[in-house]
Amino acid sequence: VSVATEDIPVRMPSYECQRITALKHHNHRFTTALELLEEHAGYQGGGQRADSRARGFRRASCTLKSLSHPLTSIEQAGKLPNIGPHSLAVIKDILEDGYSQEVQDICDGDFYNTMQLFTGIFGIGCSTARKWYEKGFRTLDDIRNDSTITLRKDQKIGLELYQDLNTPVTLAEANIIQELVKAEVQRLQPGATVVLTGGFRRGKTEGHDVDLLISHPTEGKETGLLSAVLARLRRKNLLAYESTTANTYDPSTVTKKEYTLDHFERCFSIFKFDKSWISSKPTSQSPPGVVKPGTSNPDLPHQGDRVSLGTAGGSDGESTAEKAWVGRRVDLIIAPASQYAYALVGWTGSKYFNRSARLYAEREMNMKLTSHVLYDPVKNQYLSASSEEDVFRHLQLPYREPTERNC
């Protein structure tokens, strides 16, 4: 007897971290629309209410991503967890008409497109972008040419390198940057580790930045590493921008503070990625797209070589028209060994996976999960973990591979 997939009862747990969410799934036509609505809701002011509207669309999208077959009926959508009335109405439109007029109108509108343009500037958040939109600004030149706007250093470079920073980073580029940083880190501190986290670790082949988690198996040996690595990169003229924040982790405040952001020592940077690195042929020992740094490869940067040809200038100006490098956003995060497993989970993401894991820990396990530690307030115990598997085990969650955390 054959049963139509939409008639199979779906038993889906409501926390995203309890489910498998792969990059490829069966419901892209719905999730693209819902995530556009999420983005649009996030662009609107209104604090927590706007945030929770945005989150509602994302949660509905996450549910459909976890579904093992294409959604074909609104009745079934209604039985799934975390799909609110607004999302349901959008799904219904798409099922019936093949598209959503609401989404179409947003895409065609000035507001959404301008907000996308302005929030694409490194250092510009929704509130500044919205302020500019309300003042009537619509193009990057409107911003560049307005004498009343004072930009911070990061925002200036964001505007200068707009084109670069809005071109997705490829996995091949991310691998090269990871190898390059690893070589520098290990020269300074043998045995130190540099792991590519974020979306790339979840299997994405493109991203908006490169997230590198740096650690050392011996606690304490990571101290001072970041500033030393940055000094080396600076000497080689590989940095177009850097901003470091010190470690502010204090375990005793774990229950008091909202730990949505973490407290690791960290550097937001923009690397000057030499365009010629990517055209280099990988060596036979390298994985595809990876060029091993070191003396064996003449194409990698050395002090004073052609990497330094470029200087950060206007993306549409003469100075950068022939620049030999492309700007790439890189986050360097330093995690002490004892916090490494939690940092790895936190920095692998996705952001929504983390959010749901933290919520699950709090509501279902009565524990506090952060990127530093898992804390049990009843036993007043910090639960140590030496692997991601340990973190999942402590939470009594089935282990999910990074590629299954794409909510």
| Binding-site entries for Mg(2+) | 209, 211, 331
Give the tokens for residue 17. Answer: 């971290």
By the rule CB under 6 A, 371 interacts with ligand DGT: yes
Residue 238's φ and ψ, nearest 5 degrees, are -100, 0
Selected from 199, 293, 301, 327, the binder of ligand DGT by CB under 6 A is 199
Helix (H) or strand (E) holding 244: strand 239-245
Task: Please tell me the distance from the alpha carbon of residue 6 to that of residue 391, in angstroms, as a whole number.
Answer: 35
Least distance to ligand DGT, CB of residue 211, Å: 5
To the query of whether residue 97 is one of the catalytic residues in this protein, the response is no
By the rule CB under 6 A, 204 interacts with ligand DGT: yes
Give the tokens for residue 321. Answer: 């028209």
Selected from 342, 347, 360, 375, the binder of ligand DGT by CB under 6 A is 347
Task: Please tell me the distance from the alpha carbon of residue 388 to that of residue 22, in angstroms, as a whole number.
Answer: 18
Residue of 142, 299, 305, 331 with catalytic role? 331
| Radius of gyration for the chain, computed over Cα atoms and rounded to the nearest angstrom | 23
By the rule CB under 6 A, 257 interacts with ligand DGT: no
Selected from 207, 301, 327, 336, the binder of ligand DGT by CB under 6 A is 207
Selected from 56, 198, 293, 336, the binder of ligand DGT by CB under 6 A is 198
Which of Mg ion, ligand DGT, none lies near 187, with the C-beta cut-off 5 to 8 A by kind? Answer: none
By the rule CB under 6 A, 336 interacts with ligand DGT: no
The contacts of residue 391 (CB under 8 Å, 6+ apart) are 341, 342, 345, 374, 385
Q: Which is nearer to ligand DGT, 199 or 327 (CB)?
A: 199
Q: Which is nearer to Mg ion, 184 or 209 (CB)?
A: 209
First to last CA, the chain: 34
By the rule CB under 6 A, 350 interacts with ligand DGT: yes
Task: Please tell me the distance from the alpha carbon of residue 144 to that of residue 256, in angstroms, as a whole number.
Answer: 42
Distance of CA 127 to the CA centre of its chain: 20
To the query of whether residue 250 is one of the catalytic residues in this protein, the response is no
Q: Give the binding-site size for ligand DGT (rule: CB under 6 A).
A: 16
Site for ligand DGT in 259-298 (CB under 6 A): 261-262
Decide: 376 and 255 in contact? Cβ < 8 Å: no
SS3 state of residue 193 = strand
Q: Angle between the 85-97 and 28-43 helix axes, to the nearest 10 degrees? A: 130
By the rule CB under 6 A, 349 interacts with ligand DGT: yes
Give the tokens for residue 230. Answer: 């940055």
Which of ligand DGT, Mg ion, none lies near 351, with the C-beta cut-off 5 to 8 A by kind? Answer: ligand DGT
Decide: 222 and 335 in contact? Cβ < 8 Å: yes
Contact window for ligand DGT (CB under 6 A) among 105-113, 344-352, 358-366, 375-383: 344-352
Binding residues vs Mg ion (CB under 5 A): 198-199, 207, 209, 211
By the rule CB under 6 A, 221 interacts with ligand DGT: no
Residue of 93, 164, 211, 274 with catalytic role? 211
Least distance to ligand DGT, CB of residue 193, Å: 17
Task: Please tell me the distance from the alpha carbon of residue 103 to that of residue 64, in angstroms, as a whole number.
Answer: 18
By the rule CB under 6 A, 158 interacts with ligand DGT: no
Q: Which is nearer to Mg ion, 198 or 402 (CB)?
A: 198
Amino acid identity at 30 = F
Least distance to Mg ion, CB of residue 208, Å: 6
The residue number with the shortest CB distance to ligand DGT is 349
Alpha-helical regions (H) of 292-372: 318-321, 340-348, 351-365
By the rule CB under 6 A, 404 interacts with ligand DGT: no
Q: Output the known binding site.
A: 209, 211, 331
To the query of whether residue 331 is one of the catalytic residues in this protein, the response is yes
Burial of 313 by CB count in 10 Å (0-12 exposed, 13-18 middle, 19+ buried)?
middle
Task: Please tell me the distance from the alpha carbon of residue 119 to that of residue 209, in angstroms, as a whole number.
Answer: 15
Site residues (CB under 6 A) for ligand DGT? 198-199, 204, 207-209, 211, 261-262, 346-347, 349-351, 354, 371
Catalytic residues: 209, 211, 331
